[in-house]
A = this chain, B = another copy of it.
Amino acid sequence: MDLLDLKTSLKAIDNSSLVDRVEEKLVDYLIENNFKAGDSIPKEIELANSLGVSRTVIREALSRLRMIGLVETKKKKGAVLANPDLMAVLEKSLIPKALDEDTLRDLFEFRLVLEIGMADLIMARVTKEDIDELKTIVAVEPDLSQDLAFNIEHETRFHGKLYEITGNETMKKFQKLLLPLFDYVHRSGLLGKPVSKNKYVSHKGIVHTIEHGSAEMLRNAMRNHLENHFARLF
């Protein structure tokens, strides 16, 4: 048996803590018993007794589930299953300095991919009012000579509005989380080449495409608009 085999066969030792296991058991229990949002969960003491562990352990496990929004607790009333807020949970671990470089780059790409791919949702759901609002936003489009902070804010407003048009709340929240990260990756020397100053399809061009074009045209326009970012990847 060589070293690799040895390593894999010995890897099986369970290194998880009691809390880890209880947390898992609780979730399994909730799923198997078909719990829906709003259903109430047994009391801590009961859980402790039936699992044969101390209340401390149960509380730690519940505390974790509470953090990810899977359960909510009220005094006297006990705990109930809740709709977890996926993005709220993501937010907690999205700490730029704690993330490794690969993940940061992945997330940078993630945004680019989303903005191109969402063209169909935008074209299918955009309203006259949305277009008017977009026009208002791009009317004051700053040129590159202006204050950087102002440029960023403007970028955010425009692209944020695009996400809003998709009607996809989850994606919009995700974008909101990605923003500071995107900015962080930008500044860090993570992506080799500096961003070029070439002008591609402008925000105004995008709005025009949304108003008069097709989904396919919008995908191309977005791809072109993001060229400065893509250029840093490839």
Give A residues with C-beta under 8 Å from B: 19, 23, 27, 30-31, 34-37, 56, 59-60, 63-64, 67-70, 81-86, 89-90, 92-95, 97-100, 102-103, 106-107, 109-110, 112-121, 124, 166, 168-171, 215-216, 219-220, 223, 230, 233-234
Q: Are A89 and B100 in contact (CB under 8 A)?
A: no
- The 26 listed contacts between A and B (C-beta, < 8 Å) are A31-B97, A35-B97, A35-B98, A37-B98, A60-B63, A63-B64, A68-B89, A70-B93, A81-B98, A82-B98, A84-B93, A84-B98, A86-B99, A89-B93, A103-B169, A106-B170, A106-B171, A109-B166, A109-B171, A110-B170, A113-B113, A116-B119, A124-B233, A216-B219, A216-B220, A219-B223
Contact of A113 among B23, B60, B92, B121 (CB under 8 A): B121
A64 contacts across to B, CB distance below 8 A = 63-64, 67
Question: Shortest Cβ distance from A129 into chain B, in angstroms?
Answer: 19
**How far, in angstroms, from A220 to B116 measured CA to CA in the complex?**
12
Complex: chain B residue closest to A173, CB-CB: B106
A114 to B60, CA, bound (A): 36
Bound CA span A82–B93, Å: 10
In angstroms, how far is the closest chain B Cβ from the Cβ of A211? 19
Q: Which residues of B contact A56 (CB under 8 A)?
A: 56
Residue of B nearest to A97 (CB): B36
Closest chain B residue, CB of each to CB of A94: B86
Q: How many whole Å from A111's CB to the nearest CB in chain B?
A: 10
CA distance A87 to B97 in the complex (A): 17
Q: A68: shortest Cβ distance to chain B, in Å?
A: 5
B residues near A97, Cβ cutoff 8 Å: 31, 34-36
Q: Which 4 A-B pairs have the closest CB atoms?
A: A117-B117, A106-B170, A84-B93, A113-B117
CB contacts (< 8 Å) of A168 on chain B: these are: 106, 109-110
